[in-house]
Amino acid sequence: MTYLFAAYIATWVIHIAYLGHLARGYARLKKEIEGLEKKR
Amino acid sequence: MKRAFPILAILTAGLLSYGLYGALVQAPTEQTMGDVQRIFYYHVPSAWTAFCLFFVNLVASIVYLVRRDPKADALALASAEVGVVFCTVVLVTGPIWARPVWGIWWTWDLRLTLTLVLWLIYVSYLMLRRFSSSGQTPMMAAVLAVLGALDVPLVYFSIWFFRTQHPQPVIGGGGSIDPRMLHVLLMNWLAFMCFAVLVCWSRYHLEILRRQVEETQALESLASGSAR
């Protein structure tokens, strides 16, 4: 059971880490868009 | 897609939960390997999903090479990135299954080695896109994607044509599978495919937005330069 749970947890850790990376990308872009709007 | 996104997200969450329930509870315990065999319900659908994403990457790359459509290029990038994530899951869950079953984490078996090569090809593709600033990058990446996709059928058919340590194919390979196991396997594949579509769309949308922002920034700096 340890190996089974390790595999399932590893799967979701990888997916959640990637979703976090995407969320950071969106946040960075949002800041850049706000910066551009302020300039205008 | 924007309107369908929340509905698809809820549907995906439901499918993933049902898939997890099926894998842990509904599917019968395999007699030889025991519970560790249940890793198969995440490992195999992740591999199939990665193959589908690399196929999308191939089609989008060909479309880019023919039409020079930036949207096709963005889709190629998004599908390759999400495909690498799923391929990473395959390369991580495989050894976790192999350790109790084979007694080793890894062996340089044809299927395993080709899967690692596939992962390395698409990681190189992403690195090329990330670190090359040449205007030719999308075209070079598209060519690499077309060549890299040749490894997908090699990975898939390696266990059909060569004697490998990796288990034989569960579908179409002459073996048999309990219908309850097959149901859980296909359910998890459907769930992972829906999840991949959502993540891929988000990455595609992010890439389109990033390009628009970069274009606006370039125009603004040009405008401020000419104003001086």
Write the pLDDT tens digit of every residue in B126-156: 999 999 888 889 999 999 999 999 988 888 8
User: Contact A1/B35 with Cβ under 8 angstroms?
Assistant: yes
- CB spacing of B97 vs A3 below 8 angstroms: yes
pLDDT band at residue B100 using 50, 70 and 90 as cut-offs: very high
Domain membership of residue B85 as a residue range: 4-28+37-163+179-222
Domain membership of residue A32 as a residue range: 1-40
- CB spacing of A36 vs B220 below 8 angstroms: yes
Interchain contact B220–A (C-beta under 8 A): yes
Specify if B170 maps to a domain: no
CA angle B31/B35/B40 to nearest 5° reads 95
Least confident of B60-69, B123-132, B173-182, B207-216: B173-182
Give how many domains chain A has, as a whole number: 1
Give just the sign of the alpha carbon dihedral B42, B45, B48, B50: negative
With CA atoms as reference, the chain A residue closest to B100 would be A3
pLDDT band at residue B174 using 50, 70 and 90 as cut-offs: low
| ipTM of the complex as predicted | 0.93
Q: Which residues contact B110 (CB under 8 A, 6 or more apart)?
A: B158, B159, B162, B164, B166
- Whole-number pLDDT of residue B173: 60
Specify if B42 maps to a domain: yes
Specify if B158 maps to a domain: yes
- Whole-number pLDDT of residue B175: 65
- Whole-number pLDDT of residue B11: 95
Interchain contact B217–A (C-beta under 8 A): yes
Query: B159 vs chain A: nearest CA distance in angstroms?
Result: 23
- CB spacing of B85 vs A8 below 8 angstroms: no
pLDDT band at residue B31 using 50, 70 and 90 as cut-offs: confident
Higher pLDDT, B205 or B223: B205
Tokens describing residue A15: 């997916």
Residues in chain A with CB shorter than 8 Å from the CB of B195 are 15
With CA atoms as reference, the chain B residue closest to A20 would be B199
Specify if B168 maps to a domain: no
SS3 of B2, please?
coil
Is B176 a residue whose pLDDT tops 90?
Answer: no
pLDDT band at residue B227 using 50, 70 and 90 as cut-offs: low
Specify if B48 maps to a domain: yes
Query: A8 vs chain B: nearest CA distance in angstroms?
Result: 7
pLDDT digits (tens), chain A, 40 positions:
789 999 999 999 999 999 999 999 999 999 988 888 887 7
Specify if B128 maps to a domain: yes
Residues in chain A with CB shorter than 8 Å from the CB of B82 are 18
Residues in chain B with CB shorter than 8 Å from the CB of A19 are 199
- Whole-number pLDDT of residue B228: 61
Interchain contact B188–A (C-beta under 8 A): no
Interchain contact A25–B (C-beta under 8 A): yes
Give how many domains chain B has, as a whole number: 1
- CB spacing of B42 vs A14 below 8 angstroms: no
Is B30 a residue whose pLDDT tops 90?
Answer: no
